[in-house]
Amino acid sequence: MENKTVAVVGGGLGALSGAIRLARLGFSVQLFEKNPTLGGKVNEVVLKDYRFDTGASLLTMPSVINDLFNFAGFKRSDYLDFVPIDPICRYFFPDGSVMDASADKTKMKAAIAQLSPNDVKAYERFLKYAERIHDLTAEIFMFTPIHEFGKLMRHRHFRTLFRLHQIDPFRTVHQSVSRFFSDSRLIQLFDHYATYNGSDPFQAPATLNIIPYIEYGLGGYYVKGGIYRLINALKAVACELGVQIHTSAEVEQICHDGKRVSGVQVNGEKIGANYVLCGADAVVAHDKLIDGHQIRQKKLNRLEPSLSGMVFLWGIRAKHPELAHHNTIFSSDYSAEFKQIFKHRKVPDEPTIYIAITSKADAAHAPTDGENWFVLLNMPYLVPGQMWEKETIRMRRVVLDRLKQVGFDIADQIEVEQIYTPEDFSELYASNQGSIYGVSSNNKATAFKRLPNRSRLLDGLYFAGGSVHPGGGIPLVILSGKIAATLISENHDRSKEA
Ligand SMILES: Cc1cc2nc3c(=O)[nH]c(=O)nc-3n(C[C@H](O)[C@H](O)[C@H](O)COP(=O)(O)OP(=O)(O)OC[C@H]3O[C@@H](n4cnc5c(N)ncnc54)[C@H](O)[C@@H]3O)c2cc1C
């Protein structure tokens, strides 16, 4: 066996990104995905004449994807077309008011002025504050393997560590947003960004206010043809670079001798490898794929999973021009919604409703007289006692009633339907308790508690994906693949020198 071999577990974005980089670095890479298609939580479904992205719908930080293509030696624009979204989202507030949020500062300030003239200046100050958090944290918390002591202590990171108090870690997102804005609707709008990495705005540290800067400062994008085009493009690049991709190939075990990994077991057969890059949820991998190490398992299982979700894919035989590509219909009591989700682990009585309609940008995704609605509700992660079948029926009714109240009486317009619950997310993607963003950031120390990209238990074992550093969401999981591949390559070079 040549000594530059890597077995990659899973075909999600983190794993794919790592596999591409490793192949480019001269490693022989085999990737094993349990499902028939790649992409994990970035997936697509066609129901009759309607085509849907079933997971991610908004792309941020596209430079991370450009960087991956450049590294691999390909031109991103040959594969993918990124389309800026404007408005980024249309917000429907409980009092009946509507606001279009935009990355265009003039438009955004005008929209805020319509809602609450006194808060225009507050928005300018908030964006500057969020940008400062971004500038202080991006390098260290997104691009650096913070669990590697040597790298963390590099001069420029070391300086940042001394300025951590400036990134607002001691207040919650809600406390901090409330200090800037006076209008409760704007507070709700800026609070909701905590959910973008699966967290609770009433618990998560205000450092997460970096997220609105990423959206309004750097922009929100759509991938022409659907977000799933990203997976097709990365698959093509991986194949060009010689990555051997095996689908419908579940890894049953990560093989090791107690000290070092030696490959993976798939369909009862051992595939030898010097390195294993695990892109499956790291908590689940420790529970199910790695024998021994029960203490570590217990510790990992104490990490709080992120939000889960309930998704309704609805092919609607009607046009709704009052809706934009992305829409959020807020609940009337945000704090109660999150208390039910995170404290009581219950399905909320009144959910916030997010609707993405890609046929607004890609007419071919629905019939000429129709639209493809992807409807997402925040849900608790799985705990015993929840009854998802019953809750799905209840939520469907609650959502349709609320939509009718806002002016969208669609019950009789639904032509095709598919529903996903947290149980489906757990089963389909082997995510920890159905979480969709890995570990929640509800705790101040989460950035450091989140699993590292290099195993401390087994030499040669590395991790990528939303459950490990730097966290969930498309750009971050792609960065996790970059960090893991770099660590593997550096480790390999060091072991050759020794
Ligand atoms: C409904 C929803 C909406 C979202 N919206 C957005 C959004 O708008 N913007 C955004 O940036 N992010 C969004 N996200 C989050 C984003 O999609 C994820 O963070 C990201 O795709 C996760 O990538 P990952 O690398 O962790 O892999 P995953 O997507 O978790 O994939 C892991 C893969 O590993 C496979 N696997 C697991 N175990 C094994 C095994 N034993 N053997 C072989 N294969 C295995 C699974 O089948 C799966 O394909 C959303 C997610 C969901 C579900």
Tell me the residue range of the domain where 22 lies: 5-42+225-303+444-497
Confidence of residue 11 (pLDDT cuts 50, 70, 90): very high
Cα 409 to ligand 1 centroid, rounded to whole Å: 32
Cα 422 to ligand 1 centroid, rounded to whole Å: 13
Taking residues 143-153, report their average pLDDT.
Answer: 67
Taking residues 321-350, report their average pLDDT.
Answer: 96
Q: Is residue 357 part of a domain?
A: no
Ligand 1 neighbour 422 (Cβ under 6 A):
no
Q: Is residue 54 part of a domain?
A: no
Note the pLDDT tens digit of each residue in 13-65.
999 999 999 999 999 999 999 999 999 999 999 999 999 999 999 999 999 99
For residue 219 the two structure tokens come to: 């922009």
Q: Is residue 338 part of a domain?
A: no
Confidence of residue 3 (pLDDT cuts 50, 70, 90): confident
What's the mean pLDDT when you consider all of the chain?
Answer: 93
Q: Is residue 343 part of a domain?
A: no
Note the pLDDT tens digit of each residue in 256-289.
999 999 999 999 999 999 999 999 999 999 999 9
Ligand 1 neighbour 193 (Cβ under 6 A):
no
With 90 as the cut, is the pLDDT of residue 299 above it? no
- Which residue has better confidence, 296 or 342? 342
Total number of domains constituting the chain: 1
Ligand 1 neighbour 451 (Cβ under 6 A):
no
Q: Is residue 78 part of a domain?
A: no
Q: Is residue 349 part of a domain?
A: no
Hey, which of 38, 41, 52, 199 would you mutate to test ligand 1's pocket, going by the most ligand atoms within 8 Å of its Cβ?
41
Q: Is residue 398 part of a domain?
A: no
Model pLDDT, residue 291: 87
Q: What is the CATH number of the domain that holds 262?
A: 3.50.50.60
Model pLDDT, residue 495: 83
Q: Is residue 14 part of a domain?
A: yes
With 70 as the cut, is the pLDDT of residue 157 above it? no
Note the pLDDT tens digit of each residue in 457-471.
999 999 999 999 999
